[in-house]
Amino acid sequence: MRALVTGGAGFIGSHLCEFLLHQGWEVVCMDNFVTGSSENVAPFQARPGFGLVRHNVTEYIRVDRPLDWVLHLASPASPRDYLELPIQTLKVGALGTHNALGVAKATGARFLLASTSEVYGDPHVHPQREDYWGNVNPVGPRGVYDEAKRFAEAITMAYHRTHGVDTRIARIFNCFGPRMRGDDGRAIPAFISQALASRPLTVFGDGSQTRSFQYIADLIDGLWRLMRASVNDPVNLGNPQEMTLLDLAKRILRLTGTTSEIVFRPLPTDDPKVRQPDIGRARALLGWEPRVEVDEGLRLTIDWFRRRLRA
């Protein structure tokens, strides 16, 4: 089996590339390194069957050999990145997804879109099911990411219905683990980096907003199961265990053993108040649910950040 993974040098993309190599696949990792890193693929870059291509997927994608899968993960994904790169985020969601779908159509490959829970916006339905259409502000600062992914889902389904491309859509809820950037603005790497440096942990708002966090190994397992299932409708992949961001900060303080204090800053515009997946579809169709407890995943992630600090 041979796969093209766009955004393959990113946090999730690099773990997916590594997993597929372990399954005996050939992997073409495509990335322009705007938010990805060559360090993420360094542990397995020399392995047989792995190829790294520096390319911006908003431009025409040329692949000279057959493909079985196109796995489209390319996109800025953290609030800091997509707020700093709004046009690039919109372009990769629209032009990049169009180009990746074109490769799948031309090669007869199956296609997986890494979508996001952000398609639900600041939801009025809780927990969020796949049949909920969302509450998104298209002209707010976060709209560049939310609407890019909503468009990506729409064109993916259009290629499925019009051209018969065999597609999958994974709506990924908050994921964490090794290879996250400490400065990407997401809560877990930010809290861990601050705690290990004995700096105050920055919580936005009063910390009562909720999120649901899954460890990277669980997400990769979910993507693998989705690839092998015959389901074209979107599927939530996330941890239904909901917690407040203040609780998350306190957990990281406990697990790192730091004496840092917690400080509060104004809540960003359109920041969702709640986020919790309904994973009934994933349980029924994929036999999937998260296995790694949040505290265990946090310990593994903290250990990885500690090793990086020592290196």
* Whole-angstrom distance, CA of residue 290 vs CA of residue 307: 26
Look at residue 309 in the predicted model and tell me its pLDDT.
87
Query: What number of other Cβ atoms are within 10 A of residue 124's Cβ?
Result: 12
Q: How confident is the model over 7-32, as a mean pLDDT? A: 98
* Whole-angstrom distance, CA of residue 88 vs CA of residue 75: 8
**Tokens 């372009």 belong to residue:** 91
Looking at the chain, the whole-number percentage of residues with pLDDT higher than 70 is 100
Question: Which one-letter DSSP state was computed for residue 10?
Answer: S
Q: Which residues are catalytic?
A: 145
Look at residue 268 in the predicted model and tell me its pLDDT.
87
**Tokens 């919580």 belong to residue:** 203
* Long-range pairs for 127-133: beta carbons < 8 A, 24 or more residues apart: 127/240, 127/242, 127/276, 127/277, 127/278, 128/236, 128/275, 128/276, 128/277, 128/278, 129/236, 129/278, 129/280, 129/281, 130/171, 130/233, 130/234, 130/235, 130/236, 130/278, 130/281
Look at residue 118 in the predicted model and tell me its pLDDT.
96
Look at residue 130 in the predicted model and tell me its pLDDT.
98
* Whole-angstrom distance, CA of residue 175 vs CA of residue 211: 10
Give pTM, 2 decimals.
0.97
* Whole-angstrom distance, CA of residue 207 vs CA of residue 23: 41
Structure tokens belonging to residue 268: 């960003």
Where does 2-177+213-240+278-291 sit in CATH, by number?
3.40.50.720
pLDDT tops 90 at residue 310: no
Look at residue 270 in the predicted model and tell me its pLDDT.
85
The DSSP bridge pattern shows strands 2-6 and 26-31 to be parallel
Tens-digit pLDDT profile for residues 89-141: 999 999 999 999 999 999 999 999 999 999 999 999 999 999 999 999 999 99
User: What is the assigned CATH class of domain 187-208+242-274+295-310?
Assistant: alpha beta
Q: Which residues of 156-176 are buried (b: 16+ CB within 10 A; e: fewer)?
A: bbebbeeeebebbbbbbbbbb
Tens-digit pLDDT profile for residues 208-245: 999 999 999 999 999 999 999 999 999 999 999 999 99
Q: How confident is the model over 269-281, as a mean pLDDT? A: 93
Tens-digit pLDDT profile for residues 163-203: 999 999 999 999 999 999 998 889 999 999 999 999 999 99
Please state the domain extents for the chain.
2-177+213-240+278-291, 187-208+242-274+295-310
pLDDT interval class at 277 (50, 70, 90): very high
Tens-digit pLDDT profile for residues 46-62: 999 999 999 999 999 99
**Tokens 């790497």 belong to residue:** 189
Whole-number average pLDDT of the chain: 96
Structure tokens belonging to residue 106: 């031309």
Torsion of CA 124, 129, 131, 136, to 10 degrees: 40
Look at residue 1 in the predicted model and tell me its pLDDT.
97
pLDDT interval class at 281 (50, 70, 90): very high
- 97 burial type by CB count under 10 A (0-12 exposed, 13-18 middle, 19+ buried): buried
* Whole-angstrom distance, CA of residue 132 vs CA of residue 149: 15
pLDDT tops 80 at residue 311: no
Q: How confident is the model over 55-81, as a mean pLDDT? A: 96
